[in-house]
A and B are shown apart, each in its own frame.
Chain A
Amino acid sequence: MSGTKTAITDESSLDEAGAARFAELLANDQRVEPTDWMPEGYRKTLIRQISQHAHSEIIGMQPEGNWITRAPSLKRKAILMAKVQDEAGHGLYLYSAAQTLGIDRETMFEQLITGAAKYSSIFNYPTPTWADMGSIGWLVDGAAICNQVPLCRASYGPYGRAMVRICKEESFHQRQGFEILLHLMRGTEAQRAMAQESVNRWYAPALMMFGPPDDDSPNSRQSMDWNIKRFSNDELRQRFVDMLVPQAEILGVTLPDPHIKWNEERGHFDFGELDWAEFHEVLAGNGPANTIRVARRRQAHEDGAWVREAARAYADARMTEKIAS
């Protein structure tokens, strides 16, 4: 970015002053803003994390968009459309936040449609039944909220501000999902079976959304030192399970883990091992829907190119007219 350099200070002393200021901001749990000096690693980590997060919102529109035309009632259709529209909005808030770190949006779009960028592996699972709309809201958005609430206090200002907005809107997502499952569980035998089958499929992938176990998460420590991450993957996962168990009871569904058991001593629910081999497979691009998700995104981007270009050409022509008149 272009800034007026006031003095002829040499780069290294500027960096030193910047680094000291950065350390002071973090030590006082204050926010870092786009124009502040920041270590290259901090910038890179944030660009990666925020753009991945944005991509997840954008790709996340697909598994649910899939059900808009087949929602069982007009009310559910309107709700689903509002939710998918929110996700587009969340993606845009986050792309804006990432841009303040010096990456342009075209680059991020390219990284997504060429498969160079990652996004949350949860969206690579298919949504074959209506009950999946319930499970996504309750489990997937539930896990996302658990993860995102502490991110509202992330040390990078624009990221934290985007998260505040997102969290406000996300709570409706979780509640509407819970309600879909609740209604199915109050329905016929077949509807209850559909709800349970869906929860069986989504439970473990939702728990894996918090990322690998702490001892296998090399970047976590650094992110916590930078006040980007406030709690470890395992802490957040535990918090999520503790919330889920009583909610599952209210729904009347069984969580597909025989090891779930209250642990008096720990004051938490114990739960079983997750299949991390599957997690890494899906992350590596071998999940059930990786290829189709990216292909759809690419097609939408390419099909929309003429609209973006035409709007730009129209704006340019009007500008020229204005100047001429």
Chain B
Amino acid sequence: MTSPGDFGGRETWPLWEVFVRSSRGLSHVHAGSLHAPDETMAVRNARDLYTRRAEGISIWVVRASDITASDPDARGSFFESPQGKEYRHATYYTESDSVPHL
């Protein structure tokens, strides 16, 4: 398992990942990352760095080192192959194409 942004060991401040919600009803979306000494400063820095033009109404920050990610080297074996599983999609069922509201 790896954490994103887990590079280099000489930083004065830890790395934070920033998520911004652009408006009510939408999810927080990853906007980028930044350095900050603690969570309070991280939120403030995120506001200055990622919402200078009203891009958001809510911000999440999380220490990059606290994120657990799937192993990039095991991509093939980890994610199930979609091969032959077209039946999981509505487009697979063509016989009902002409039927309204279906």
- B-contacting residues of A (Cβ < 8 Å)? 1-6, 14, 33-36, 82, 85-86, 89, 92-93, 96, 99-107, 161-162, 165, 169, 308-309, 311-312, 314-315, 318-319
Determine if A315 and B38 form an interchain contact, defined as CB atoms under 8 angstroms apart.
yes
Looking across the interface, which residue of chain B has its beta carbon closest to that of A311?
B37
CB distance from A309 to the nearest CB of B (A): 7
Given A93-B32, A96-B33, verify A318-B7 contact (CB < 8 Å). Answer: no
Interface membership of B6, Cβ < 8 A: yes
B: contact size bracket: 20 to 34
Q: Are the CB atoms of A105 and B35 closer together than 8 Å?
A: yes
Partner of B71, one of A6, A86, A312: A6
**B72 lies within 8 A of A92 (CB):** no
Least CB distance, A181 to chain B, in whole angstroms = 24
Residues of A within 8 A of B5 (CB): 99-100
> Are B7 and A3 touching (Cβ within 8 A)?
no
Residue of A6, A33, A314, A315 with most chain B CB atoms under a 10 A cut-off: A315
Q: Which residues of B contact A99 (CB under 8 A)?
A: 5, 7-8, 15
Are A2 and B2 CB-contacts (below 8 A) given A104-B7, A106-B12? yes
For window 4-38 of chain B, which residues contact chain A by CB distance below 8 Å?
4-13, 15, 32-35, 37-38
| A3 x B71 contact (CB < 8 A) | yes
Main secondary structure, interface of B, reads loop
Asked if B41 is an interface residue, CB under 8 A from chain A, the answer is yes
A1 close to B12 (CB less than 8 A): no
Q: In the bound complex, do residue B4 and residue A4 qualify as a contact, i.e. CB atoms below 8 Å apart?
A: no
Between A1, A308, A309, A314, the greatest number of chain B beta carbons within 10 A of the residue's beta carbon is seen for A1
Q: In the complex, A92→B11 CA distance in Å?
A: 14
Residue B85 at the A interface, CB < 8 A?
no
Residues of B within 8 Å of A3, CB to CB, are 2, 71-73
- Tell me whether B88 is interfacial, beta carbon within 8 Å: no
CB distance from A278 to the nearest CB of B (A): 36
Structural contact, A107 and B34, CB atoms closer than 8 A: no
